[in-house]
Amino acid sequence: MTNIILEVQDLKKYFTTAKGQLHAVDGVTFQVEKGTTLGIVGESGCGKSTTGRSILKLIEPTSGKILFNGEDITHYDKRKMRPLRTEMQIIFQDPFSSLDPRQTISQIISEPLIEHNLVKGRQAIEKRTLELMDTVGLASRLVNTYPHELDGGRRQRIGIARALAVNPQLIVCDEPVSALDVSIQAQVLNLLKKLQKDLGLTYIFITHDLAVVKYFSDNIAVMYLGQMVEKSSSDDLFKSPTHPYTQALLSAIPYPIVGKDKPERKLIKGEITSPVNLPDECRFSKRCDYTVEKCLERNPALKEISPGHFVACARVE
C-alpha cells in the first residue's frame, strides 16, 4: 500500500491567445505523500497557480494525468468531481476577493457543510460552524459579521475554516499569506502548521516566497515558465541549490540582516520571457550566466543528481 495521496504526470495546460499557444503549465510531474507538504515556488507567470487549480479540476488540463488516491480524475466532469470536493480543498491568496461580500461569516463557513449534507439540522450546523471558528482562532462573537468588517488576517482564517469544513485530506494553499502583514503572516503560518499536525493534512503550498516555503515544506519544486527546473527535499534544496535559477532566487531574497553575516547577492539579468510559442531550448537560457551552446539545442529534462534531488539543467547532464 503506497502512501501517495496525489500523483501528477506530465500535466500540461495551454491557453489559446491571440499571439499563439500560451504554455502556462508545460509537462509537470510530481507526487505528494500523505501528511507532507510540497512547496511550489516560482515568480508570477511561472504556472504555479495554474498547476494548483488544475489539481482541483478548477481548470481543465490540456493533457497529462492527475491521480488522487490512485483514482484517475483527469477527465472527471463537474458532477463526478463533486464527491471528491470533500477530500480536496483550496485556500486562496486574496482574503478580500475570496469571500462573498454578501455572506456573513457563519454563512461562508457553513456553506460547504450544507452543500454536502455533512451535518444535518440547524443547531448541528451552527455548532459545527462555531467549532470550526474555534479551530482557526476566530472569536465566536464574530459569527454574524461580514467580511468587509474584518481585517486581512481574520478573513484569511475564515477561508481556512471554510476549507476545513469538509474535512479534506489535501489542501492547496495558493499564496495564503502573501497578502498579509508580517506579524499576521506568522500567526497564519503557525495555524496552518498546527492544523497539519492535528488533522494529518497534506498541503500543496504555492508561493513566491522562498523563506516561507523553507519554513513550511518537506519537499520543494521550483518552477520557471511552466516547467519544474528543480525538485528535491527542502533541506537539500537550501543546502545545495543546483539550478542557476534556484540559485538566483535564493540570492535575490532580501535578508533582514545588516552587517557581518549578510549573504552576498547575485543579480540575474533580464526578466521572465513570455510563455507564448516557446522554442525548444532551455527556458532559462536567456537570463542564465552559464548558457552554452548545448542549452540552446534542446530543453533539458529533469535528471536525478542525488537520491530525490532532480534538476533540469544541461550542466548536470
Partner 1 sequence: METTIEKTKSRSLASETWRRLKKNKGAIIGLIFLVVLVIAALASGFIYDYDTQIIGQNISQRLQRPSSEFWFGTDQVGRDIFARILYGARYSLSISAGSVLIGLITGIILGAVAGFYGGLADDIIMRIADVLYAIPNIMIAVVIVSLLGSSTINLLLALSVSAATSFARITRASVMTIRGQEYIESANAIGMPNWKIILKHVIPNCLSPIIVQVTLLIGTTIIAASSLSFLGIGVPAPAPEWGAMLSEGRDFMRSASYICIIPGLVIMATVLALNLLGDGLRDALDPKMKT
Partner 2 sequence: MTENILEIKDLVVHYETDDGVVYAVNGISLAIGKGQTLGLVGETGAGKTTTALSILNLVPNPPGVIKSGEILLDNINMLSLPARELQNVRGKDVAMIFQDPMTALNPVMTIGEQIAESVMLHHKDFSKEDCIERAKEMLRQVGIDDSRAADYPHQLSGGMRQRVVIAIALACNPKLLIADEPTTALDVTIQAQVLALMKQLKQEFNTVMLLITHDLGVVAEVCDEVAVMYAGHIVEKGSAYDVFNHTLHPYTEGLFNSLPNLRERGEELVPIKGMMPDPMQLPTGCVFAPRCPYVMDKCRLGQPELKDHGQSHFVACIAYDSEDFKLRRNS
| Nearest Cα residue to 85 out of 173, 200, 170 | 170
Site string for partner 1, 51-80 (x = CB under 8 A): --x--x-x-------------------x--
Which does residue 173 bind out of partner 2, partner 1, none, counting CB within 5 to 8 angstroms by kind? none
120 Rama sector, left if φ>0, alpha if ψ -120 to 50, beta otherwise: beta
Question: How many other C-beta atoms are found inside a 10 Å radius of the C-beta of residue 161?
Answer: 23
Q: Does 153 bind partner 2 (CB under 8 A)?
A: yes
Q: Closest distance between partner 2 and the C-beta of residue 266, in Å?
A: 9
d(CA 105, CA 148): 10
User: How far, CA to CA in Å, does 126 sit from each of 134, 144, 191?
Assistant: 12, 11, 22
d(CA 249, CA 95): 26
Which does residue 53 bind out of partner 1, partner 2, none, counting CB within 5 to 8 angstroms by kind? partner 1
> Which distant-in-sequence residues (6+ apart) come within 8 Å of 290 by Cβ?
244, 315
Residues binding partner 1: what is the number (CB under 8 A)? 38
Which region among 66-74, 127-135, 210-218, 296-304 touches partner 2 (by CB under 8 A)? 210-218
Which does residue 1 bind out of partner 2, partner 1, none, counting CB within 5 to 8 angstroms by kind? none
Which does residue 254 bind out of partner 2, partner 1, none, counting CB within 5 to 8 angstroms by kind? partner 2
User: How far, CA to CA in Å, does 258 sit from each of 15, 88, 183, 218, 250?
Assistant: 45, 43, 20, 29, 18
Which does residue 17 bind out of partner 1, partner 2, none, counting CB within 5 to 8 angstroms by kind? none
Q: Which is nearer to partner 2, 255 or 301 (CB)?
A: 255
Q: In the chain, what is the straight-line distance between the N-terminal and C-terminal CA atoms, in Å?
A: 34
Q: Does 216 bind partner 2 (CB under 8 A)?
A: yes
Q: Does 278 bind partner 2 (CB under 8 A)?
A: no
Q: Which is nearer to partner 2, 23 or 157 (CB)?
A: 157
Instruction: Retrieve residue 46's grid coordinates.
Output: 511561472
User: How far, CA to CA in Å, does 13 sit from each of 1, 27, 135, 277, 302?
Assistant: 31, 8, 36, 13, 19
Which region among 12-20, 104-112, 122-130, 256-264 touches partner 2 (by CB under 8 A)? 256-264
Residues binding partner 2: what is the number (CB under 8 A)? 43
d(CA 30, CA 64): 12
Structural element, H or E, at residue 293: helix 293-297
The binding site for partner 2 (CB under 8 A) comprises 43-44, 151-154, 181-187, 189-190, 193, 208-212, 214-216, 234-235, 248-249, 251-259, 262, 265, 267-268, 271-272
The binding site for partner 1 (CB under 8 A) comprises 53, 56, 58, 78, 81-85, 89-90, 92-94, 97-102, 104, 111-112, 115-116, 130, 140-146, 148-149, 159, 162, 166
